[in-house]
Amino acid sequence: MTLYRIHMNAARSEEFPEGSDKHGYDFVAPLDADSHLDPDAWKAHKHDCVVRRFSNGEPDERGLLRHIGKGWTIDYDPTTAAGDEPFFKLDKHLISVGEYLSVREDDGEMRTFHIVAVQPYLKK
Print the SS3 string covering the chain.
CEEEEEEEEECCCCCCCCCEEEEEEEEEEEECCCCCECHHHHHHHHHHCEEEEEECCCCCEEEEEEEECCEEEEECCCCCCCCCEEECCHHHCCCCCCCEEEEECCCCCEEEEEEEEEEECCCC
Domain that holds residue 36: 2-119
**Tell me, what's the pLDDT at 79?**
75
Enumerate residue ranges in the chain where pLDDT < 70: 1, 81-83, 124
**Contact indicator for 120, 109 with CB cutoff of 8 Å:** no
Q: Quick one: pLDDT at residue 82?
A: 62
Residue whose C-alpha is closest to residue 73's, from 53, 44, 82, 3: 82
Instruction: Give a yes or no: residue 95 inside a domain.
Output: yes
Examine residue 41 and state whether it is found in any structural domain, yes or no. yes
- Domain-embedded: residue 124: no
Q: What integer pLDDT is reported at residue 107 of this predicted model?
A: 86
**64 in a domain, yes or no?**
yes
**How far is the C-alpha of 67 from the C-alpha of 75, rounded, in Å?**
10
Note the pLDDT of residue 78: 74
Distance CA 6, CA 51 (A): 9
- Domain count along the chain: 1
